[in-house]
């Protein structure tokens, strides 16, 4: 089985590459050549930028694959480019979409692949929906769509209120004894999936005719409240979490950048039915929980001070929000 993976070094794709190799697949990774040292020695590499179509076409000339897996396409123009590049050299195209595309707010649980795709709050999810709509019109290449939920590894900080790339501030706030904002009353439940569990089922879709022209989500069956996730990380740090509950609408008023991540995703409970992926994968796994990796997460950031990034602007906005809300309720 010859497989081409576009990306290959992200949170999810790193584990997919490793699992595919373990299954005896002939794996090639196409990316810009950064961070490839973590991948198995047997992996082949094509160094180039997929977003430069002419360059990509030249690099792919004369090659063919049983499956192409796209981890780094985020809008429909990128997907249309992929179809142009791969329709004559691939037998399957797997597109990584997102479970955040499902209807918000969710009207019925558990979420299945038949749950409508409606997200009026988050551009990221809206773009993925448009990609899926286009892919359903493709006739000359079998398409498989996969919707991961919140998927993590042993380096990911679980925080619901954070600025992208400055998630370390969550650990910093815990260590400093600062309040941690949890939206609402803290009772909504959230599904998180370790990337190694995800990969075990995912590889069963590769080159599998039963997955062609179909869609699957792959999630864990482990549920947490955001308060539980915060306390797990606090325990790993050896501190006590100081939590403050603030209504989502109030948070968004003072932190408008959180509208997409909250109303478009994390403010709602996320409970999934995995029956469909289980029906074609004998390797479905829901084994690892955040409590199993929290100490690794803490150790990773402790040992990598260059990753200890904090946005003073965002933290000041959070502190201001907390002060305003505490004054209002008192």
- Per the domain annotation, does 63 fall within a domain? yes
Average pLDDT of the residues in 146-159: 98
- Per the domain annotation, does 275 fall within a domain? no
pLDDT in tens, 212-232: 999 999 999 999 999 999 999
**ω into 110 cis (within 30 of 0):** yes
Same-domain status, 178 and 148: no
pLDDT in tens, 174-203: 999 999 999 999 889 999 999 999 999 999
What residues make up the domain containing 27?
2-152+192-218
Same-domain status, 144 and 228: no
Same-domain status, 35 and 7: yes
pLDDT in tens, 18-36: 999 999 999 999 999 888 9
**Burial class of residue 289 in the structure, from the number of CB atoms within 10 Å of its CB (0-12 exposed, 13-18 middle, 19+ buried):** middle
Coil, helix or strand for 46?
strand
Whole-number pLDDT of residue 166 = 98
Whole-number pLDDT of residue 283 = 97
Of the pLDDT bands very low, low, confident and very high (cuts 50, 70, 90), residue 6 is very high
Angle value at C-alpha 61, between 59 and 63, nearest 5 degrees: 100
Same-domain status, 132 and 236: no
Coil, helix or strand for 45?
strand
Concatenated DSSP letters for 100-116?
GGB-SS--SSSB-TTS-
- Per the domain annotation, does 145 fall within a domain? yes
**Does 120 have pLDDT greater than 90?**
yes
Rg of the chain over all Cα atoms, to the nearest angstrom: 21
Average pLDDT of the residues in 137-143: 97
Give the rounded percent of residues in the chain with a pLDDT score beyond 90: 97
Coil, helix or strand for 98?
coil
- Per the domain annotation, does 159 fall within a domain? no
Domain containing 186 — which CATH number?
Answer: 3.90.25.10
Whole-number pLDDT of residue 89 = 97
Contact (CB, 8 A) for 203 and 89: no
Same-domain status, 66 and 203: yes
Mean pLDDT across the chain = 97
Same-domain status, 184 and 314: yes
Whole-number pLDDT of residue 186 = 87
pLDDT in tens, 37-65: 889 999 999 999 999 999 999 999 999 99
- Per the domain annotation, does 95 fall within a domain? yes
Same-domain status, 177 and 196: no
Domain containing 213 — which CATH number?
Answer: 3.40.50.720
- Per the domain annotation, does 276 fall within a domain? no
Same-domain status, 211 and 94: yes
- Per the domain annotation, does 308 fall within a domain? yes
Q: Based on the structure, what is the number of domains in the chain?
A: 2
Report the run of H or E that residue 47 belongs to, with start and end: strand 44-47
Same-domain status, 213 and 88: yes
From CA 6, how far away is CA 32, in angstroms rounded?
A: 10
Of the pLDDT bands very low, low, confident and very high (cuts 50, 70, 90), residue 324 is very high
Same-domain status, 82 and 144: yes
pLDDT in tens, 261-291: 999 999 999 999 999 999 999 999 999 999 9
Same-domain status, 38 and 173: no
Whole-number pLDDT of residue 75 = 98
CA 12 to chain centre: 7
Whole-number pLDDT of residue 33 = 85
Same-domain status, 197 and 179: no
- Per the domain annotation, does 283 fall within a domain? no
């Amino acid at each position: 089985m010859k497989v081409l993976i576009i990306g290959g070094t992200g949170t999810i794709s790193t584990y997919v590459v490793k699992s595919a190799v373990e299954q005896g697949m002939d794996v090639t990774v196409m990316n810009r050549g950064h961070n490839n040292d973590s991948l198995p020695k047997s992996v082949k590499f094509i160094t180039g930028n997929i977003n430069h179509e002419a360059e990509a076409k030249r690099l792919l000339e004369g090659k063919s694959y049983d499956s192409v897996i796209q981890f780094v396409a985020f809008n429909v123009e990128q997907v249309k480019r992929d179809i142009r590049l791969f329709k004559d050299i691939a037998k399957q195209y797997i597109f990584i979409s997102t479970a955040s595309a499902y209807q918000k707010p969710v009207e019925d649980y558990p979420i299945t692949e038949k749950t409508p795709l409606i997200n009026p709050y988050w551009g990221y999810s809206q773009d993925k929906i448009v990609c899926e709509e286009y892919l359903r019109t493709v006739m000359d290449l079998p398409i498989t769509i996969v919707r991961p939920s919140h998927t993590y590894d042993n380096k990911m900080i679980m925080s619901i209120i954070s600025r992208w790339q400055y998630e370390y501030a969550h650990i910093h706030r815990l260590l400093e004894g600062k309040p941690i904002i949890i939206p609402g009353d803290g009772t909504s439940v959230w599904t998180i999936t370790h990337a190694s569990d995800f990969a075990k089922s995912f590889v069963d879709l590769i080159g599998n005719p039963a997955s062609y022209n179909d869609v699957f989500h792959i999630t864990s069956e482990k549920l947490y409240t955001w308060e539980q996730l915060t306390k797990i990380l606090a325990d790993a740090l050896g501190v006590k979490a100081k939590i403050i509950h603030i209504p989502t609408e109030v948070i968004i008023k003072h932190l408008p950048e959180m509208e997409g991540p909250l109303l478009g995703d994390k403010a709602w409970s996320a409970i999934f039915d995995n029956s469909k992926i289980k029906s074609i994968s004998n390797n479905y796994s829901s084994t690892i929980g955040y409590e199993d990796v929290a100490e690794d997460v803490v150790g990773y950031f402790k040992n990598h001070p260059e990753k200890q990034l904090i946005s003073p602007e965002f933290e000041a906005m959070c502190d201001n929000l907390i002060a305003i809300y505490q004054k209002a309720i008192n």
